[in-house]
Amino acid sequence: MLVMKNINKIFQTADIQTHALRDFCLQVNEGDFVSVTGPSGSGKTTFLNIAGLLETYTDGEFLLDGEDVGTLNDNGRSRMRNQKIGFIFQGFNLIPDLNLYDNVDVPLRYRGFNAKERKRRIEENLERVGLASRMKHLPSQLSGGQQQRVAIARALATDPRFLLADEPTGNLDSEMAKGVLTLLEEINQQGTTIIMVTHDAELAQRAKRTIQVKDGRVSELEIVSPQMNQAIA
Amino acid sequence: MLETGLILRALARNKIGALLIALQIALTMTIMVNAIFMIQDRQHQMQRDSGLDEANTFYLTNTVFGQDYNIQAHLQTDLHMIRNTPGVIDAIQINAVPLSSSGWSMALQHEPGEDKDAVGSAIYMVDEHAINSMGLELIAGINFTQEDIELRKDGQSTWPAKTIITKAFAENLYPDDWQSAVGKTVYISQTQPMQIIGIVKALQAPWNGWNGVERSMLVPFHRESKGSYYFIRTEEGRRDALMPIIEKALAESDKERIIRRVTTVEDTRKRSYRQHNATNKILTTVVITLTLITGFGIVGLAIFSINRRTKQIGTRRALGATKRQIMSYFMMENFIISAIGNVIGCIGAVGLNMWLVSTFNLSPISFELIAFGVVALFIVGQLAVLYPARKAAMIAPATATRTI
């Protein structure tokens, strides 16, 4: 479970203070598929970065899978990212010099799995996204949709509790986008919690819950968790 | 977990930059190891024992211009005067000075006749005071006596019947047992017999670059020549004070000759090895410059590589890499590049050394020196990549979600 209470994030430069998140509150339960929408600059990427432990927050309380994220040091956050969170990026973020097999291998090495276990997970997850036959190919030899599938395989290889997707279909045409979204729905049905940031309203509708972020706050919840306070209108 | 396999495969697909640095390391290794080898060789040459009591000896030239000049009489008078000067231990007339670059050489052979194997040697014409005057150490046999000393006129081609040789020369003539040289008869000028009566520990030839520089022989001659050296040994600490005193005394005692070039043996050594010192300084500069260029090259490539892979590094961090793992990645990458460079460099270093050995008659390079070169360049590489690797480790994981 992911719980954020009154999270604030302030970016401070020499002259300017930017309040990216203001008293941000959200609860995501196990098995949820939450889409996060909002206009550019609303704070949705900042939310995703904080939720994915890619960035620290200024104040507030953030519990991930029962662990207080605020108490973790950099190594602790790295460990938690590796063990509990899978990322899917808009630009796929595959390593261009490595083939598909090695790309999926990267987080598994950080996890410290032995070679046999890594091989099993790589093959299983590439099979899961339908690219087992192309594991020796380089990312540049694949279409955008296939690259995003590899990124999903990489994200799933560590068996994460949460899958965070940042505009996962943003660089894909509509056919490829549908395919990726269908895959995400299947993954969610198999029990993985998904939080997806998107500006595509149609895509957002496919999630079980949709929240809208505006000016750094949750401005609208279509489905509100009963444990959470009312979002600020 | 180390990403060696991934790094190797990534380097294989993106090899130009890494290969250039590996070649730079190889070139540095090749030149550095051979330059250090040459520096060491020169240092070794400069540290060789001349056999002389260098700190307390000096020499001067005595050039006679007077007509009907009685050289023998004046020689005896001069030597008597110098030897009796307070502070002087002993003095001799000599035809050449070790390490002075100017001297005489002859060859000795075991059997008389033409076309026999002969071993070359520097030759010093001295009297029975030579061992004491030069500070030599007689380690076998006996010294000359006054009766052994013969008069040698300019152009004379006959040689005395006795000689004292250096240990190195004895080892060359009698490799199985150098001490057995004492009492043996050898032949000079192909046919003239000469008995070895003594062996001194060391006495270098006048030419430091000659590969037989340790081979010298003393022959009991007083030269009746208008130009000769007087070689003088003083008590410890009195050399510098006695040099002008003796120069003045000799000059004033006889107006039909010129006393010149009053020089210490220490100065002669310095002058003799001036080129060695200069070459070593140049080679040291080359080694340092090349090493720095290689180090900066590694820094440059690493920074370029990191700037090019900022998003990739952010992604790795997002996927769970710790700062230490990011640093290790770049350190390992550099280690692999250095290893490739060092392997090529080792081959290059040995190849260049083989050429140097065959061309300049140097000794082969040692394994230890190559090992030193490998270790040194690994250290340079790792130090050079340290800052860029730290910079990479500081890239925020949030970079992964940014559009760069």
Tally of domains in chain B: 2
Does the pLDDT value for residue A221 go beyond 80?
A: no
Q: Is residue B265 in a domain?
A: no
Question: Which is higher by pLDDT, A180 or B284?
Answer: B284
Q: How confident is the model at residue A158 (pLDDT cuts 50, 70, 90)?
A: very high
The ipTM, to two decimals, is 0.91
Indicate if the alpha-carbon torsion angle B48, B51, B56, B62 is positive or negative: negative
pLDDT of residue B72: 86
Q: Is residue B54 part of a domain?
A: no
Domain match, B341 and B210 both: no
Same domain, yes or no, for B132 and B23? Answer: no
Residues B236 and B284 in one domain: no
B288 & B329 share domain: yes
Of B223, B255, B287, the residue at which a domain comes to its end is: B255
* Residue B44 burial (CB count, 10 A): 10
Say whether residue B13 is in contact with chain A using an 8 A CB cutoff: yes
Asked whether the predicted pLDDT for residue B209 surpasses 90, the reply is no
Instruction: Considering only the beta carbons, identify the residue of B1, B3, B400 that sits closest to A54.
Output: B400
Task: Please identify, among B196, B224, B255, the residue that sits at the C-terminal boundary of a domain.
Answer: B255
For residues B201 and B296, membership in a common domain is answered with no
Q: For the ranges B243-247, B311-315, B365-369, which has the lowest average pLDDT? A: B365-369
| Residue B260 within any structural domain of the chain | no
Q: How far apart are CA B75 and CA B151, in angstroms?
A: 11
Per the domain annotation, does B108 fall within a domain? Answer: yes
Q: Say if B269 falls within a structural domain.
A: no
For A208, other C-beta atoms within 10 Å of its C-beta total 15
For B53-117, strand residue ranges (E) read 57-64, 88-94, 105-109
Q: Which domains does chain A have, with CATH numbers?
A: 2-221 (3.40.50.300)
* A chain contacts of residue B317, beta-carbon cutoff 8 Å: 54, 78
Same domain, B279 and B243: no
Indicate whether B202 belongs to any domain: yes
Shared domain check, B243 and B299? no
User: What pLDDT is recorded for position B193?
Assistant: 95
> Do B29 and B102 share a domain, yes or no?
no
Q: How much is the pLDDT for A177?
A: 83
Answer with the residue of higher pLDDT: B361 or B157.
B157
- Give the residue, B269 or A227, on which the prediction is more confident: B269
Q: Which domain holds residue B283?
A: 4-47+274-401
Question: Do residues B247 and B299 both lie within one domain?
Answer: no
Confidence (pLDDT) at B404: 52
B14 domain-assigned: yes
pLDDT digits (tens, 9 = 90+) for B95-135: 999 999 999 999 999 999 888 889 999 999 999 999 999 99
Question: According to the model, what pLDDT value does residue B201 have?
Answer: 97
Q: Please check whether residue B257 touches A, CB under 8 A.
A: no
- Find the chain A residues whose C-beta atoms sit closer than 8 A to any C-beta of B: 45, 48-49, 52-55, 74-75, 78-79, 81-83, 87, 89-91, 93, 95, 97-99, 102, 105-107, 109-112, 138, 154, 158, 166
pLDDT at A71: 94
Residues A201-211 pLDDT 10s? 788 888 889 99
B53 within some domain: no
Q: Which residue in A109, A154, A198 has the most chain B C-beta atoms within 10 A of its own C-beta, making it the best mutation to test that interface?
A: A109
C-alpha–C-alpha distance, residues B108 and A215, integer Å? 103
Cβ-based neighbours of B79, under 8 Å, separated by 6 or more: B91, B92, B93, B129, B230
Of B206, B221, B255, the residue at which a domain comes to its end is: B255
The mean-pLDDT minimum among A44-58, A214-228, B225-239, B382-396 falls in: A214-228
User: What was the pLDDT predicted at A231?
Assistant: 37
B222 and B306 fall within a common domain = no
Q: Tell me if residue B354 falls in helix, strand or coil.
A: helix
**pLDDT for position A176:** 82
B124 and B238, same domain (yes or no)? yes
